[in-house]
Amino acid sequence: MENQNTAPVMAKQTYIDFKNVKVNDDIVLSLEEAGKTVDAIKRAEKVSHIIMTIFTYIFILALALVVVFPFYWMIITSLKQNDEIRAAQQTFFPTIVMWSNYTHVFQVFDFVTYMKNTVVVAIFSTIGTLLTTILAAFAFARLRFKGKESVFAIFLMTMMIPGEMMVITNYITVASFGWVGENQTLMDAYLAMIVPFWISVFYIYLLRQNFKQIPNELYLAAKVDGKSDWSYLWKVMVPLASPTLISITILKFMGTWNSYVWPNLVTSKSEYRLISNGLRGSAFVDIDMGITFYGYQTAATMLVTVPLFLLFIFFRKYIMKGVGRAGIKG
Amino acid sequence: MGISSLFKKKSLTEQPPTLGVNELFAEERPQYEEGYDKEKDVIIRMVGKKSDKAYQTRGIEDVGAKNNWKGWLYLAPVIILVAVFLIYPLVNTIFIAFTSNYKYASGEFDGLTLTNFTYILGLTASSTGAVEKDFVNYALPNTFLVVIITVPVSTMLSLLIAVALNSIKWFQKILQTIFFLPYVTNTIAVGMVFSVIFDKSGVINFLFGTETTWIYGADRWTAMVPLMLYIVWGSIPFKILVLLSGLQGIDKQYYQAAQIDAAPKSKVLFKITVPLLSPQILYLLITSFIGAWKEYTAVVGLFNGPGTLGKSSTDKNMLTVVYYVYDNLQTNTSSAAAAAVLLFVIILVFTALQFWASKKRVHY
C-alpha cells in the first residue's frame, strides 16, 4: 500500500521492512522467521526439539531416581553392618555383605506366622467378597425387580462415608459377636478380620458395569437353551468378566497385606496379627544402648516388600488395569 | 438392526402405502406395544415420541419381571452385610458422638450430650476436669497442613511426569513401571525405610551436609518434611496412571492444530492438555483430598507413634484426625466418635465445595 502510494514520487523511495509490517498504528505484523531459509528454520526446529527431549529425559530420570532410591536404600541397608549404617561416612554399597541379617530376622521376627495369618485372611476375605460381589452385580446388571434403583443408589452413597467412621461401631459389633475379647481364639481373630471385609460397594459397582457390557443376545440365547439365571451367571458372565475378577482378587490381596489398623484393634495376641502389625511391632532395639538395629529392621521390611513385588511382576497388567479403574488399595 | 427393526412396524403402517418390500409384509408382523410381552417373555420399551416418524425401540431390555423375589435373593448377602457393617455403623457412630462416657464393651452411656464436640475442640473440660488440647493443637492443624500441601504438590508433579512420560519414545514402558512401584508397597514397611533414610546419621543428612533431626525427637515442623515427602512419594503412582490414560485418550488432532499454529509448548500444555484432562484432574483432586484427610499409616510407618518420640511420646505432636480417632477408640469412645463425625462432615463439605467450584471449570 505504502509502496504503491509513494511509487510515483521517485525521489522519495521507501522500503518496506518485511520483518515488521506496519498496517496501522495499532497493528504491527511481525515475521520472526523472515529472512531465514526453509532449511534454517527446519534446523532450528530440530535443535529445539532435541533440547526439549533432553530436558524431558533429565527431568524424568531424576524423578525416577528419587522414586527408586528408597527401594535401593532398603536393599543395601538390609545387607549392611549396624556400624556401617550409623557411620558418619555413608556408603552406597555395603562393604561387607551381611546375609546374616536375614537369618537373624527369621529367628527373631516370626515371619512364617504372620505370613500364614495374612494369607488365610486374604484368601477367605477375597472368596467372600467375590461371592457377594458377583451375586449383587448380577442382580443389579441383569435382573428386574422393584426397588432396584433405590437400593443401588443407597449402596453408592455409602461409598462417600469414610471407613474410619465404621471402625468404631464395627469394633463394638464384632465384640458383641464374641470374636474379640479376653478369651479370643485364633478362629475368632480370623472371623473378626475376615467377615467385615466381605463387602465392597466399589467392586460391586465395577463388576456391574462390566456385566452390563455383556450383550443381551447371550442372555436370550442361554434362555432359549433352557439355562437358568444361576447357570447363566456362572457359565457365561463370570468367565467373561474374569479380567475384572482377577483384578479384584489381586487388589483385595494387596489390601490385606497392607491392612494395619483393624487387625491391630481386634486381635488380643501378637501371634494372631497380620504382616504389617508384625513388622511395626517387631523390636530390633538394643534396650541397653537404646538404639535400633536398622540392618535387621530393614531386612524385615524387605521380607514384607518382596512378596508384593513378586505379585506385581507376575500380574502387572491386571494390577495396573484394576488400579486405573478402581483407584483404591484393597 | 436385526431385532430393533422388527419393532418399527407401527409407524410404518401409519405412513402412506408405498410399494416397498417392508410395507408388503407389514401386516404380518406382530403388533408390539410398550410393556411386557407374555408370549415372548420380554419387556419392550419404546424410546422417543410415538408421533415420530419411526420411533426406535431400545429392544429387549430384560426378562424376569415375574421373578421379583429372585433379585432380592441374589442381593440378600450383600444387603445384610451392608446393613450390619456400613449403614448401622454410620448411624451408631453418629449416635455415640452425642452420648457421654460411652463404654464400648458394655454399650452403656450416661445420657445424651453435645459436649463431646466442644470437648475435642478444647472449649469445655471433661467431667474429670481434663481439657483436651491434642485435637485442636495437633490433629486438626497437622491434617490440614498435609491436605493443603500434599494434594496440590502431588497432583502438579504427577501432571508434569505424565505429560513428560507421554511425550517420550524410548524407555517409556520401563519408566512408567518404575513410577508405579511406590503403589505396590506396604505403607508401613517403606515408612520405616524413610525413617532410616532421614535418620540423624542417615543418608539425607550425609548428602546435604546437615545435622538435622528429622524423625526421632524432632521438632514438629521439621518432622513434617519427611512426612509430606513420603505422602507425596506414595501418592504419585496412582495419579500418573490415571493422567496417562487420560492423555492417551486425547485426540491427536488438537496437537496437530496447535502445531500448525506454531503454538508454544507452554500454551499447548495449559490451553489444550490441562483443559482436556480436567475430568481426570477433578477426580484425582477429590479422591486424594479425601485420602489426605484420612492420613494415618504414613505417620505410623515413619514415627511408630503419635509423636516424634514414638509410641511412648506424651507430646502427641504428629497426631492426625484419624490417628486421634484410633488413639481414643478404646479409652474415650465418645470423643473418638465425635472426631470421626467431624471428619465425615469436613469431607462432605469440601467434596461438595470442590464439585460446585469446578462445575464450570471442568471441560468434559
Q: A292 - beta bridge partners?
A: A285
Asked whether residue A28 carries a pLDDT value surpassing 70, the answer given is no
> Does A200 lie in the same domain as A158?
yes
d(CA A127, CA A135): 12
User: Could you tell me if B161 lies within 8 Å of chain A, comparing CB atoms?
Assistant: yes
B9: pLDDT confidence band, cut at 50, 70 and 90? very low
Q: Distance (Å) from the C-alpha of residue B149 to the closest C-alpha of chain A?
A: 19
Residue A265 and residue B329: Cβ atoms within 8 Å?
yes
Residue A12's pLDDT is what? 52
Residue A9's pLDDT is what? 47
Residue B181's pLDDT is what? 92
Q: Distance (Å) from the C-alpha of residue B247 to the closest C-alpha of chain A?
A: 13
Mean pLDDT, rounded, for A318-328: 68
Look at residue A95 and tell me if it is in a domain. Answer: no
Asked whether residue B31 carries a pLDDT value surpassing 80, the answer given is no
Centroid of chain to Cα A285: 32
Asked whether residue B363 carries a pLDDT value surpassing 70, the answer given is no
> Does A182 lie in the same domain as A115?
yes
Q: Mean pLDDT, chain A, as a whole number?
A: 83
Residue B57's pLDDT is what? 41
Structure confidence by residue, pLDDT tens digits, A293-322:
888 889 989 988 998 899 888 888 888 877
Q: Mean pLDDT, chain B, as a whole number?
A: 80
Residue A64 and residue B336: Cβ atoms within 8 Å?
no
Look at residue A277 and tell me if it is in a domain. Answer: yes
Structure confidence by residue, pLDDT tens digits, B165-189:
998 888 888 999 999 999 988 999 9
Residue B320's pLDDT is what? 92
The nearest alpha carbon in chain B to A159 belongs to: B86
Residue A227's pLDDT is what? 84
Domain CATH code at residue A275: 1.10.3720.10
Q: Which residues of A touch B175 (CB under 8 A)?
A: 60, 64
Lowest mean pLDDT across A294-308, B132-146, B258-272 = B258-272
Binding-face residues of B in 119-148 toward A, CB within 8 A: none
Residue A92's pLDDT is what? 84
Binding-face residues of B in 307-346 toward A, CB within 8 A: 322, 325-326, 329, 333, 336-337, 340-341, 343-344
A328: pLDDT confidence band, cut at 50, 70 and 90? very low
d(CA B237, CA B247): 15
> Does A204 lie in the same domain as A315?
yes
User: Contacts from A188-192 at CB under 8 Å and sequence distance 24+?
Assistant: A189/A266, A189/A267, A189/A268, A189/A269, A189/A272, A190/A117, A190/A120, A190/A121, A190/A124, A192/A266, A192/A267
> Does A203 lie in the same domain as A59?
no
Residue A90 and residue B206: Cβ atoms within 8 Å?
yes
The nearest alpha carbon in chain A to B325 belongs to: A164
Residue A319's pLDDT is what? 83
Asked whether residue B4 carries a pLDDT value surpassing 80, the answer given is no
Q: Which of A320, A59, A50, A48 is nearest to B164 (CA)?
A: A59
Mean pLDDT, rounded, for A44-69: 91
Q: Which of B68, B86, B245 sits opposite A158 (nearest CB)?
A: B86
> Does A57 lie in the same domain as A190?
no
**Residue whose grid cell is 462432605:** B348
> Does A135 lie in the same domain as A8?
no
> Does A286 lie in the same domain as A171?
yes
- pTM recorded for the entire structure: 0.81
d(CA B243, CA B159): 7
User: Could you tell me if B153 lies within 8 Å of chain A, comparing CB atoms?
Assistant: no
Residue B350's pLDDT is what? 80
Structure confidence by residue, pLDDT tens digits, B39-79:
555 555 554 444 443 333 433 444 444 556 788 889 999 99
Residue A308 and residue B186: Cβ atoms within 8 Å?
yes
Look at residue A85 and tell me if it is in a domain. Answer: no
The nearest alpha carbon in chain B to A323 belongs to: B238
Cβ–Cβ under 8 Å, residues B240 and B179: yes
> Does A271 lie in the same domain as A214?
yes
Beta strands in A171-323 (DSSP E): 285-286, 291-292
Asked whether residue B27 carries a pLDDT value surpassing 70, the answer given is no
Residue of B91, B168, B186, B231 best to disrupt the A interface, most CBs of A under 10 A = B186
Binding-face residues of B in 240-269 toward A, CB within 8 A: 241-242, 245, 265
Q: What percentage of chain A reaches a pLDDT higher than 70?
A: 85
Asked whether residue A106 carries a pLDDT value surpassing 80, the answer given is yes
Look at residue A88 and tell me if it is in a domain. Answer: no
> Does A165 lie in the same domain as A64?
no
Q: Grid coordinates standing for B342? A: 467431624
In chain B the first and final C-alpha atoms are separated, in Å, by: 31
Residue B196 and residue A294: Cβ atoms within 8 Å?
yes
User: Could you tell me if B79 lies within 8 Å of chain A, comparing CB atoms?
Assistant: yes
Mean pLDDT, rounded, for A267-283: 85
A30: pLDDT confidence band, cut at 50, 70 and 90? low
d(CA B78, CA B75): 5
Count: domains in chain A: 2
Q: B56 - beta bridge partners?
A: B47
Residue A173 and residue B179: Cβ atoms within 8 Å?
no
> Does A249 lie in the same domain as A129?
yes
User: Could you tell me if B352 lies within 8 Å of chain A, comparing CB atoms?
Assistant: no
Look at residue A96 and tell me if it is in a domain. Answer: no
> Does A160 lie in the same domain as A215?
yes
The backbone torsions φ and ψ at residue B64, rounded to the nearest 5 degrees and listed phi first, read 85, 25
ipTM at complex level: 0.81
Alpha helix stretches (DSSP H) within B67-211 = 68-82, 88-97, 115-120, 134, 140-167, 172-180, 187-197, 203-208
Asked whether residue B15 carries a pLDDT value surpassing 80, the answer given is no
Lowest mean pLDDT across A232-236, B9-13, B159-163 = B9-13
Q: Which domain holds residue A18?
A: 1-77
User: Could you tell me if B36 lies within 8 Å of chain A, comparing CB atoms?
Assistant: no
Cβ–Cβ under 8 Å, residues B75 and A135: yes
Q: Distance (Å) from the C-alpha of residue A144 to the closest C-alpha of chain B?
A: 6
d(CA B26, CA B8): 10
Residue B360's pLDDT is what? 58
> Does A109 lie in the same domain as A64?
no
Residue B1's pLDDT is what? 37
Residue A108's pLDDT is what? 81
Residue B270's pLDDT is what? 86
Q: Distance (Å) from the C-alpha of residue B18 to the closest C-alpha of chain A?
A: 33
Mean pLDDT, rounded, for B272-293: 87
- Report angle CA B234, A265, B223 to the nearest 5 degrees: 40
Alpha helix stretches (DSSP H) within chain B = 2-6, 9-14, 21-25, 68-82, 88-97, 115-120, 134, 140-167, 172-180, 187-197, 203-208, 220-248, 252-260, 265-268, 274-293, 297-303, 321-328, 333-358
Q: Which of B219, B210, B214, B208 is nearest to B229 (CA)?
A: B214
> Quick one: angle between helices A201-212 and A242-258, nearest 10?
170
Q: Which residues of A touch B74 (CB under 8 A)?
A: 135-136, 138-139, 143
Q: Which helix (H) or strand (E) holds A22?
A: strand A20-22
Query: In order of start, what are the domains of chain B with their CATH numbers?
Result: 2-60 (no CATH), 68-120 (no CATH), 134-328 (1.10.3720.10)
Q: Which residues of A touch B179 (CB under 8 A)?
A: 63-64, 67
Lowest mean pLDDT across A161-165, B140-144, B164-168 = A161-165
Residue A175 and residue B105: Cβ atoms within 8 Å?
yes
Look at residue A291 and tell me if it is in a domain. Answer: yes
Q: Which of A52, A73, A329 sits opposite B203 (nearest CB)?
A: A73
Mean pLDDT, rounded, for B19-38: 46
- Of A15, A43, A77, the residue at which a domain comes to its end is A77
